[in-house]
Amino acid sequence: MSCRLHQPNHPNIEANTMNLAAQHRLISIDEYLEGETRSDIRHEYLAGEVYAMAGAGEKHNRIAGNFFFHLRAVSRGKACGVFISDMKLRIDASDSFYYPDVLVSCDPQDTQPLFKKLPCLLVEVLSPSTEAIDRREKLLAYRKLPSLRHYLLVSQEQRWVQWHLRDDAGQWLISEFDGSGTLDLTCPGLALSLSLDDIYEDVNLA
């Protein structure tokens, strides 16, 4: 995930001023979605507040791109959609919209073109400014999604991945991979074994 900055003035909301201090109000979901279609900057939405997303660097992009490449290769001709960076994730339970770095949805009912609600796999590439959000706020929000099977937290500073896996009994299991290892990222209708070599291919960690 790239840096997230609070931005009360979404493109669809006019700012009012009083006593030289910018004022803002909570915006509706419809206002947020409309504003995102017209904005050059992505924003995440949390219960009426919007947060601007800053850009990401080369390592971040290479890692997310490696995930997309391998996931797209095994999803071709299947019902699964693989999205990178610009697809919103809607979480009703927390009244929020996020932009995961990688999102996979294999549910045929997940047809909304502006956002997805039924992912089976989510990936966040960690950065110093957002690691706490990815590890706590997003972890709690993502686990509320009944469809989610895999949530991956991926370092861009070292070969390290934390894998949150929901098993068939609905329990969350956590595994950490440091340096090497292979993840079985099976979703309904999709199967992929991905190694840390695959994830960090062409990523300069020096």
CA separation for the pair 81, 71 (Å, rounded)? 9
pLDDT tens digits, one per residue of 100-152: 999 999 999 999 999 999 999 999 999 887 888 899 999 999 999 999 999 99
Is a pLDDT exceeding 90 seen at residue 17?
Answer: no
Number of helical H runs and strand E runs in the chain: 5, 16
What is the predicted pLDDT for the residue at 14?
45
Mean pLDDT of the chain: 89
Mean pLDDT, range 63-74, rounded to an integer: 97
What is the predicted pLDDT for the residue at 4?
53
Q: Is residue 68 part of a domain?
A: yes
Q: Is residue 70 part of a domain?
A: yes
The verdict on 126 and 168 lying in the same domain is yes
pLDDT: which is higher, 158 or 55: 158
The domain in which residue 107 lies consists of: 58-199
The verdict on 184 and 117 lying in the same domain is yes
Q: Is residue 206 part of a domain?
A: no
The residue behind tokens 């502006």 is 114
Say which residues have a Cβ less than 8 Å from residue 126's Cβ, sequence separation at least 6. 1, 134, 153, 154, 155, 156
Mean pLDDT, range 11-40, rounded to an integer: 71
The verdict on 18 and 69 lying in the same domain is no
Count up the domains in the chain and report the number. 2
The verdict on 81 and 163 lying in the same domain is yes
The verdict on 87 and 105 lying in the same domain is yes
Show which of 53, 76, 93 is a domain's final residue: 53
CA separation for the pair 93, 72 (Å, rounded)? 29
Long-range CB pairs of 93-96 (<8 Å, 24+ gap) are 93/141, 93/144, 93/145, 94/46, 94/47, 94/140, 94/141, 94/144, 95/46, 95/47, 95/48, 96/44, 96/45, 96/46, 96/47, 96/141
CA separation for the pair 179, 170 (Å, rounded)? 28
**DSSP state, 94?**
G
The verdict on 21 and 70 lying in the same domain is no
The verdict on 86 and 8 lying in the same domain is no
Q: Side chain identity at 74, as an amino acid letter?
A: V
CA separation for the pair 147, 161 (Å, rounded)? 21
The verdict on 62 and 45 lying in the same domain is no
What is the predicted pLDDT for the residue at 128?
81
The verdict on 122 and 159 lying in the same domain is yes
CA separation for the pair 81, 66 (Å, rounded)? 16
The verdict on 88 and 166 lying in the same domain is yes
Show which of 22, 38, 53 is a domain's final residue: 53
Helix (H, G, I), strand (E, B) or coil at 48: coil
What is the predicted pLDDT for the residue at 198?
98
Q: Is residue 204 part of a domain?
A: no
Show which of 15, 30, 53 is a domain's final residue: 53
C-alpha distances out from residue 25 to 84, 111, 163, Å: 30, 31, 37
Q: Is residue 103 part of a domain?
A: yes
Please say whether the beta carbons of 100 and 56 come within 8 A: no
In this structure, what CATH number is given to the domain that contains residue 164? 3.90.1570.10
What is the predicted pLDDT for the residue at 149?
98
Angle, CA 184 vertex, CA 182 and CA 185 arms, to 5°: 125
What is the predicted pLDDT for the residue at 205?
93
The verdict on 22 and 85 lying in the same domain is no
Q: What's the predicted TM-score (pTM) here?
A: 0.88
The model's confidence at residue 206, banded by pLDDT at 50, 70 and 90, is: confident
The model's confidence at residue 18, banded by pLDDT at 50, 70 and 90, is: very low
What is the predicted pLDDT for the residue at 69?
97
The verdict on 79 and 174 lying in the same domain is yes
